Amino acid sequence: MIFQKKLSKMAIFSYLIIDQQTNTCALVDPAFDTKELLDEIRNRGLHLKSVINTHSHADHIAGNASIIDKSRAKLMIHRNDVRTMNTFMNKLFARILGGRKSPMPRRLLLDNDTIQIGTIKLKVIHTPGHTPGSICLYTDGNLITGDTLFVGAVGRTDLRGGSHQQLINSIHKKLYTLPPETIVWPGHDYGTMPSSTIQQERETNPMT
């Protein structure tokens, strides 16, 4: 199951992907409020196995250090976004937001990789455009989209490494081809609802 948590700054959503059979979980994009996120994991009696970043922007990785310090979770990000995790600007931004420099990932992800969380198989879908190493995560009718696809919007492409053409290609070829009932879980709460479906975005998203 997917647990969505809206963080206290910048309308960010972090996610827990929970395998109820083994009480294990993965945490996606811990930017802030890391104590609340760890409390949530503890209160549910879960073991945190992985921390996965959908991309390297500070508002998605600023909490990596504090989570990794307090758990044995393995940090993962797409290979194309490793170099930008700790650029001067990203570290500065993370500090301004109350976070810290990220530790280095222990696993570099590629398109089509599988991340095992207990009995759950999470599929990595490489969706470059917002950043060169942006990924979406798919499991069993659920799609976590980071800053690639929002409810009624798409990620900005005017930052370093961004490409609007690539972003639209990624969305059309790799996301809109998923089953229409797939639930879309975005990286920010920018829409009229906190989640959506592939069908709804395909039919109504004005930016795609």
- Binding residues vs Zn ion (CB under 5 A): 57, 59, 147
Question: Which residue's Cβ has the minimum distance to Zn ion?
Answer: 57
> What is the 3-state composition of the chain as percent helix, strand, coil, each rounded to the nearest 5?
25, 30, 45
Closest CB to Zn ion among residues 169, 199? 169
Helices (H), 8-163: 34-43, 58-61, 64-69, 88-96
Give min distance, CB of 90 to Zn ion, in A: 10
Give min distance, CB of 54 to Zn ion, in A: 8
Closest CB to Zn ion among residues 19, 147? 147
Helices (H), the chain: 34-43, 58-61, 64-69, 88-96, 164-170, 198-204
Give min distance, CB of 25 to Zn ion, in A: 22
Closest CB to Zn ion among residues 59, 189? 59
Give min distance, CB of 202 to Zn ion, in A: 22
Closest CB to Zn ion among residues 58, 67? 58
Phi, psi of 198, rounded to the nearest 5 degrees: -60, -45
Closest CB to Zn ion among residues 57, 78? 57
Residue 33: which residues within 8 A CB-CB, separation 6 or more?
Answer: 5, 7, 8, 14, 63
Q: List the one residue out of 159, 208, 158 whose CA is nearest residue 184.
A: 208
Give min distance, CB of 118 to Zn ion, in A: 28
